[in-house]
Structure 1
């Protein structure tokens, strides 16, 4: 049987990461200078490009500073995991589909979710903001008199 991971191409995965990460050309993740030169390819992942910054002289590659960096799973596994997360599959199902143990799938999904949180910015409200009212009853433990409903008064006002 054909698995999802067999359909993914390493070269295309790295190409997409580069295009999404650097739409205006590669810049250094350390000093953000646009002056970089290619420094060959990774020994274990032949489509993973290495670079050297001409400004700060630091070396980096396509995944440096991303959620995909410093993990033993290949990039195509991460891309497939993202896709399966988008289908709202459980970690157990993702592990089964990718041929991983459940702990690895759990670590991958946790890292990906945390990466989304880290990349998100706190929204800034401006102008007129309308908020619906909220009524909370919780928090009155031991103070039952505060949450009792008012007794219904008699029709004659007694």
Structure 2
């Protein structure tokens, strides 16, 4: 049985909405919370459309996310993300998703780029300790070479 048969588009959209807007839907353009629902997408029935009463922009559940603007159903992206978490190769992911390797490679690349773009830079504070530092690269464990260079 294919992994995609176990996933339901409606459930995937519910999870996306819950993680994206835990305190209610907000406009991705102006962040207002005065939103009206504008029906469902014709091709993906579980995908809700909205209109912001603040800036009048239209958007949907995926606007502004790594999942937006692709022809693959959301369940394929969610399954791909899950398979990436299992550290599978692109070839294995393509096999599991029933796609060709080029599509799987593009999917994983875009998911990785989305994760990197969303990552925040940690700020260190207080006392910060580091472990080993090698000042002369390439001479690890060669004490005599380090001594010759006077480092």
What's the TM-score once normalised by structure 2's chain length?
0.90
Look up the match of 1:12. 11
Report the CA distance shift for 1:89/1:34 in structure 2 as closer, same or farther (over 3 A).
Answer: same
Match of 1:116, SS state, is: helix
2:81 pairs with 1:106: no
Partner of 2:94: 95
* Cross-structure match for 1:25: 24
Give structure 2 stretches of 5+ with no counterpart: none
RMSD: 1.7
Moved over 3 A (4+): 146-150
Gaps of 5+ in 1: 141-145, 151-158
Q: Deviations over 1:107-137 (max 9, x none)?
A: 1111111111111111111111112231133
For residue 155 of structure 1, what is the aligned residue in structure 2? none
- 2:115 is aligned to 116
- What TM-score results when the alignment is normalised by the length of structure 1? 0.86
Tell me, in whole angstroms, the C-alpha distance in 2 between the residues paired with 1:68 and 1:148: 51
8 Å contact 2:4–2:76 — kept in the other structure? yes
Shift of 1:139: 7.9
Partner of 1:74: 73
Partners of 1:18 and 1:133 lie apart in 2 by: 44
Q: How many residues align?
A: 144
Larger radius of gyration: 1
Give the distance between the partners of 1:139 and 1:87, measured in 2 at CA.
34
Q: Secondary structure at the match of 1:40?
A: strand
State the distance in 1 between where 2:17 and 2:101 align.
29
Q: Secondary structure at the match of 1:51?
A: strand
Change (3 A) 1:52 1:148: closer
Q: Tell me the distance in 2 between the aligned counterparts of 1:18 and 1:111.
A: 20
Which residue pairs with 1:3 in the alignment?
Answer: 2
CA–CA distance in structure 1, aligned partners of residues 102 and 122 of structure 2: 33
Q: 1:75 to 1:132 in 2, by over 3 A?
A: same
SS in 2 for 1:92: helix
1:51 counterpart = 2:50: yes
